[in-house]
Structure 1
Amino acid sequence: MSGDERYDAALIGILQNEGNVVNFLDVFYSFLFRKTDFFRIMLSPTDKYGFQAGVARKLILAGFKKYESMASELNARLKAQYEKSLAEESANMIAENVADEVEVVTSEETTPQQQVNQSENIKELPKIADPQPLGQEQSSSSAMEVSAEKEVLPSNTRDIAEVSSQSIMAVASTVTSTTTAATSQESNHADQVTSGENLASSEMSDTKNNPDNDPELEKLQKIYQANSESYNGAIRENYTWSQSILDLDIRVKVPAHIKKGRDVKVDIGRKHMKVSYVDQQLPKSSQLVALVDGELSWDVHKDEAFWSLVPGEHIHISLEKVRDRWWDSLLTTEPKISVRKIDAQRPITELDDESQAKIEEMMYNERQKQLGLPQSHEKNMHEMLKKAWDVEGSPFRGQPFDLSKVNISQGGSFGTGSM
């Protein structure tokens, strides 16, 4: 049983007795207040009990941020899995619809009447400079055939383009190449050969010049990502660091005999960090031994920095970034990681209210679309139509509200059903 779990039985008993988390936390803080010096403020540097003003608050915030970060990472992974499953379901549905429609077009092209129409159209092609609507000289059956094809293909393209999934884009590419092969097979073949050669050349160049493609770095980053203390960060000789988009979490190793906070010294500047410990065996003039001393890659809020000592193990340091960005190194002197290979998803809880609202609306619309129900913009359009249905000058005034009498285009404009 891990150290985090061995007290679960006792803590669960307290939680059950108190009935909710708020009362449980009150019991916890009450214990610290009554039985420890956690809330006691040191009145002078010589006091042996308590903390300096503000330190206890920072320790509580450090613990909160630690588990908040873990929860955010878990939520991000769950959200990614949910979106992936939605995309896969959408891909399957679109692929089935496309397959059905392509089958219908193929069967229609095999009819004798359409073969005759196609022959007539091919004869007319040299006279047409640009794709234009068919003229009156063409037969009505030929015009109907081309019109039907025009109605099918853009519909496929629109449906496929609305779903942001690699697999769906692949289906769209397949359908497009199938419909154009009959008229431009040789040209497409030449383009594909040229494109393939360019792509291969580009990939070789990227592999040679781009450090993101370094296989050794990729192996190391898999190790980093598997460790919570180096998640989105790295493991170095005497320290580890991890990060979220907002802050940094650093653990600097200390010798086993370092047990008290007075035996270490931590200096945090806007763009510099120095961590040292006291070696009593050295002369007083040189007792401070530097563990980490270097320039930070980017600025931090030095007034928001705080640290704590885990006796005999490490110094835990929390830093808040000035800018919301991903760091490719903690110090400018250390090797860089690839920010393309970390979990760079930003948890929804860290976004502003407007961005959160937009993401929630997108997720809602995706669910509505899967269920065949109106999306948010469609609901808004329906509400507008309902309000305007019976106003002065409306052609529908006095009639029951009926959406089937109105044609709503994809761009949002509308007209009467007879148009």
Structure 2
Amino acid sequence: MASPLEMTEMYDNALLGILQHVGNIQDFLQIYFGFLYRKTDFYRLLSGPNDRMGFPPGVAEKMVLKTFGLFEKLAEHDRERALSDQRKKEESSRAPPAAQEVEVSSELCQATEEKSGAEPSRTESASSDAGALFCFRPQNEFQSNPDSYNGAVRENYSWSQDYTDLEVRVFVPKTVVKGRQVSVGLQSGGLRVSVRDGLEEKTLMEGEFTHKINTEDSLWSLEPGKCVLLSLNKTSEVWWNSVLKGEKEIDINQINRERSMATVDEEEHAVLDRLTFDYHQKQQGKPQSHEMKVHEMLKKGWDAEGSPFKGQEFDPSMFDIPPSAVQF
């Protein structure tokens, strides 16, 4: 089951308009990634602890490959389901002899029960072994994985965070493939995630959050046979050192605590763009934005009737304009 964000049709008209305009997928992707290049910090690398925006080397690429893989699995699932439906349709048209049906059905049920009883234990054992290895990783290894960026990998789950949100991936057995097999209790102060595999219900994650979340803007989805994905919206813009109280904490001094451009609103984005522009202008010895704004106003009166400068070339060096003199 894909999340509402993945399968929403809200943006289809806008995206179809772009696709129809360019005429092919390749150019559509060029426009999409060009937007990320021009308007976000997606391609910016964090090369040092003082960098304010961007991602560690390789993380942005992993995000793209992971997203591609998600929808590739959905497409593969659709193909398998169509093939299965076709086989069932063909088998239903060929009725086997009654004696064969009873004998094979009995053996098949027994074999299926034995197999389904064995599979979850192997899955759970593998998850447990993997968790035991992951718990002792240093933070820089978590930072290179988009699933644990600014977070960690624990025995039953991994988590990542940015300035405003958390993503928690609770690992599930391979046999958990439908939403009705999952139960998620999500409250502002805590959560409980359990799965039903056969007749047994097992709690995978339960506890009290380190900080409150906004339940109205939080949601969950199932990645079949892989994990329950929780997208949690923070009520306050603070960095979490763990998802649940009492669990092993990360050192928030070792994570990237700067805000991503994706979390900056339009007004703040404009301010950052102006500051970046002013920095480059100053480096080149050119007028900054506040000076350019005043120069434009002065030019209008420079050559006006009655001006002592009428007929002379405008000279911006005559004016010393502090940034505080201009309101943006």
Q: Report TM bin, short chain.
A: 0.5 to 0.7
| Alignment of 1:75 onto 2:79 | no
Q: Any idea what the Cα deviations from partners look like across 1:319-344, whole Å, max 9, x if unmatched?
A: 22222332221111212212222122
> What's the CA shift for 1:391?
5.2
Q: How does 1:31-42 map to 2 (within 5 A)?
A: none
> Which residue in the other structure is 1:408 paired with?
319
Q: How does 1:197-208 map to 2 (within 5 A)?
A: none
Alignment TM-score, normalising by the size of structure 1: 0.44
> What's the CA shift for 1:360?
0.6
Structure with more helix by fraction = 1
SS at match of 1:387: helix
Structure 1, unmatched stretches of 5+, are 1-14, 26-66, 86-216, 282-286, 414-419
> What's the CA shift for 1:80?
5.4
Q: In 1, are the aligned partners of 2:302 and 2:314 still within 8 Å (CA)?
A: no
Mapped to 2, the partners of 1:244 and 1:412 lie a distance apart of: 32
Mapped to 1, the partners of 2:166 and 2:210 lie a distance apart of: 12
2:285 corresponds, among 366, 372, 381, to 372
Instruction: Summarize the Cα distance change of 1:71–1:276 in structure 2 as closer, same or farther, 3 Å threshold.
Output: farther
Structure 2 counterpart of 1:19, which letter?
A: G
> What's the CA shift for 1:238?
0.6
Q: What is the number of residues matched between the two proteins? A: 216
Alignment TM-score, normalising by the size of structure 2: 0.55
| Alignment of 1:344 onto 2:260 | no
Q: Any idea what the Cα deviations from partners look like across 1:167-202, whole Å, max 9, x if unmatched?
A: xxxxxxxxxxxxxxxxxxxxxxxxxxxxxxxxxxxx
Structure 1 counterpart of 2:44, which letter?
A: L
Mapped to 2, the partners of 1:312 and 1:412 lie a distance apart of: 57
Q: How does 1:60-71 map to 2 (within 5 A)?
A: none
Q: Which has the higher contact order (CA 8 A, sep 6+)?
A: 2
> What's the CA shift for 1:254?
1.7
Structure 1 counterpart of 2:23, which letter?
A: G
> What's the CA shift for 1:279?
4.8
Instruction: Summarize the Cα distance change of 1:23–1:394 in structure 2 as closer, same or farther, 3 Å threshold.
Output: closer
1:19 corresponds, among 8, 23, 26, to 23
> Which residue in the other structure is 2:232 paired with?
319
> Which residue in the other structure is 2:267 paired with?
354
Q: In 2, are the aligned partners of 1:349 and 1:356 still within 8 Å (CA)?
A: no
> What's the CA shift for 1:250?
1.1
Mapped to 1, the partners of 2:217 and 2:322 lie a distance apart of: 49
Runs of 4+ aligned residues of structure 1 deviating over 4 Å after TM superposition are 15-18, 20-25, 79-82, 390-394
Report the identity percentage: 37
Instruction: Summarize the Cα distance change of 1:17–1:412 in structure 2 as closer, same or farther, 3 Å threshold.
Output: closer
Q: In 1, are the aligned partners of 2:176 and 2:197 still within 8 Å (CA)?
A: no
Mapped to 1, the partners of 2:27 and 2:288 lie a distance apart of: 42
Instruction: Summarize the Cα distance change of 1:385–1:304 in structure 2 as closer, same or farther, 3 Å threshold.
Output: closer
Considering only CA atoms, is the larger Rg found in Structure 1 or Structure 2?
A: 1
> What's the CA shift for 1:362?
1.3
> Which residue in the other structure is 2:162 paired with?
244
| Alignment of 1:276 onto 2:156 | no
